[in-house]
Amino acid sequence: MKKRIVLNLSHGLGEEDAQQLEARIGPFEEIRVACQFDLERPLIPQIEALRHDLPAPDFVIPPSLGPAAYLVGQRCEGIPLIWLRREGAPPKWVLGGIEI
């Protein structure tokens, strides 16, 4: 089975989260792109620059910054979004769900 590509623009997946995600979508390769947005500049060009030279993803984990997550979602029409949520103390990011 071909590995699906998960473009992760947020926090890296933990081992348990990766196992849960694999159980739901099958084998995947996580491409982690660290991103820090300059809120003094327009977000759209910064977001579009993130995807430059990357393979077309099967799934996208949007950034945790609300406005950036919204704009990424707009530009990923037809690509399911995976969302993460904070849990516990100390807080960690865990798999929240998949929106198709």
pLDDT values of the chain reduced to their tens digit, one per residue, 100 residues: 789 999 999 988 989 999 999 999 999 999 998 888 888 888 888 888 877 778 889 999 998 888 888 888 888 878 888 888 888 888 888 888 888 7
Pairing assessment for the beta strands 92-99 and 81-87 based on DSSP bridges: antiparallel
pLDDT at 6: 95
DSSP 8-state class, residue 9: -
- Taking the whole predicted model, whether its pTM rises above 0.85 is answered as no
**Angle, CA of 78, 20 and 73, to the nearest 5°:** 25
Q: Would you kindly state where each structural domain of the chain is located, as residue ranges? A: 4-99
DSSP 8-state class, residue 3: P
3-state secondary structure of 18: helix
10 by Cβ neighbours in 10 Å (0-12 / 13-18 / 19+) ranks as buried
Whole-angstrom distance, CA of residue 64 vs CA of residue 43: 14
- Tens digits of per-residue pLDDT, 57-85? 999 999 888 888 888 888 887 888 888 88
